[in-house]
Amino acid sequence: MRTKLEQDHIILFPEDRIDAANAAQVQSELESVIAANPGKEPVIDAGALSYISSAGLRVLLKLTKSLKKPLSVYNVTPEVYDIF
């Protein structure tokens, strides 16, 4: 997963799909990147995300719960937005 540091944020760029086949891997990557950048607020840029299943939504919900604050997700495609 590509990442970019910007001031107080770490921008995460998931690509293609997040579904049951890769949800655990994506969750692990997200947790690792966030742990490696303490004090940086994670932000998801979903522009390259073509599909997210309920397993992928669960990953984002777990992340939000662990952060104890809202998670910003932007550049959501219409297809992914419908699933949200």
Using pLDDT thresholds of 50, 70 and 90, give the confidence band for residue 43: very high
- Output the pTM of the full model: 0.88
pLDDT of 18 above 90: yes
Stretch 5-10: mean pLDDT = 93
DSSP letter assigned to residue 75: S
Residues 6+ apart with CB under 8 A from 57: 83, 84
Rounded mean pLDDT, 38-59: 95
Answer yes or no: are the C-beta atoms of 40 and 9 closer than 8 Å. Answer: yes
Supply the pLDDT for residue 69.
87
